[in-house]
Chains A and B, each alone.
Chain A
Amino acid sequence: MHEMSLASALMEEIDRISRQNNILRIDEVELRIGVLKQVVPQVMEEAFRAVSLGTLAEGAILRQVEIGARALCEDCGMEFVPAPDDFLCPVCGKFSRNLLEGDEILLGSLTCVT
């Protein structure tokens, strides 16, 4: 359900970059999303379609690139894949805050006409 909030934030960022670069039309938006954000691609697609109506990005392709989760155990140094609801190291069972990636939502690139 947070896709709408995230899509609105994405659209604000796209607006800002469009103004800075005098963009006339946007053909593709690349969005990189960590799996821990628990974004549902179809819902994000719908949300983006809704927030981009009447903007330079209306009709643009939203390319969603998933970023896997990786964490480094603070205790035994093992690199592991945390689940959204489980950050315990599978080897030693200790909790790790040492998340390397997988919790981000990044605007990667815009393919556009200026």
Chain B
Amino acid sequence: MKINVVKNVLQANDIVAAKNRQVFQEAGVLAVNLISSPGSGKTTLLEKTIPALADQGPSIVIVGDLQTTRDAERVADSAFQVTQINTGMSCHLYANQIAESLPGLELAQAYFLFIENVGNLVCPGEFDLGENLKVILLSIPEGDDKVAKYPTVFRAADMVLLTKIDLLGAFSYDLARVENDLRKLNPTAPLVPFSATTGQGMGEWLGWLAEQRKTKVGAQARFIHE
């Protein structure tokens, strides 16, 4: 017997992601999914970003890692709330894991929710978590050829941060190549040279977050927070 199904294999995840998105919307919080290779600076970005956003509003962080609570500990002081998801052998977060961590979080008290995905440029691109925005970090030491090698995440990106830009001189690196490759996949995502060390790009990043929050959660957020 043959049963015709024709169903998206990722549908179960997508349904939960849609529910998460609704929870974020109702809470008036902007949810940002941070995706990159291991070691490209996601946690460092959060260490610098959360205190700098404090005058706009509090941030909550969900950290996904195979093992340890090290990343969560690094942002624990500055974030309003932090929760760690240990994924074991899984190389990305699922919408379900986010949904399960939400009851412990006071989302309506926060302005920003940062989800630090497991370090990986492949699988996190396939699994919607319900975020408003996908931000991809690509650090200079990783090389200028990575956009074309991992096209799926860059196609889905709302912003690309070129992190560790202060190391540019230490490598043979072609910035134009990154920009060219990105524009074949994604004409709109801003490509921002960024350094947590020198502060380059920080203003643009923070301004973009504030703007995105206004447009993505806007009126709803004002109603809750005022």
Contacts and interface: CB of A to CB of B under 8 A. Distances in A.
Most buried by B among A36, A95, A104, A114: A95
A4 B38 CA distance: 19
A101 interface: no
Interface residues of A, number: 35
**Shortest 3 CB-CB distances between A and B: which pairs?**
A85-B148, A95-B187, A85-B151
Interface residues of B, number: 32
B205 interface: no
Contacts of B184: 85-88, 95
5 contacts: A5-B126, A88-B184, A95-B187, A106-B9, A111-B1
A65 B213 CA distance: 41
Contacts of A12: 12
B9 A111 contact: no
B155 interface: yes
A16 B7 CA distance: 12
A68 interface: no
A13 interface: yes
Identify the interface centre among B9, B12, B123, B183: most chain A CB within 10 Å of its CB.
B9
Instruction: Classify the secondary structure of A's interface with B.
Output: mixed
Interface in A19-77: 21, 23, 31-32, 36-38
B9 A6 contact: yes
B185 A85 contact: yes
A13 B11 contact: yes
B146 to A, nearest CB: 11
Contact of A110 (B5, B10, B123): B5
Interface string A93-113: 001000000001111111111
B152 interface: yes
A7 B152 CA distance: 18
A56 to B, nearest CB: 13
A47 B151 CA distance: 22
A6 B152 CA distance: 14
B3 interface: yes
A1 B122 contact: yes
Nearest to B155: A87
A67 to B, nearest CB: 12
A9 B10 contact: yes
A16 B147 CA distance: 36
Contacts of A4: 91
B166 to A, nearest CB: 28
Given A1-B91, A87-B155, A95-B184, A10 B2 contact: no
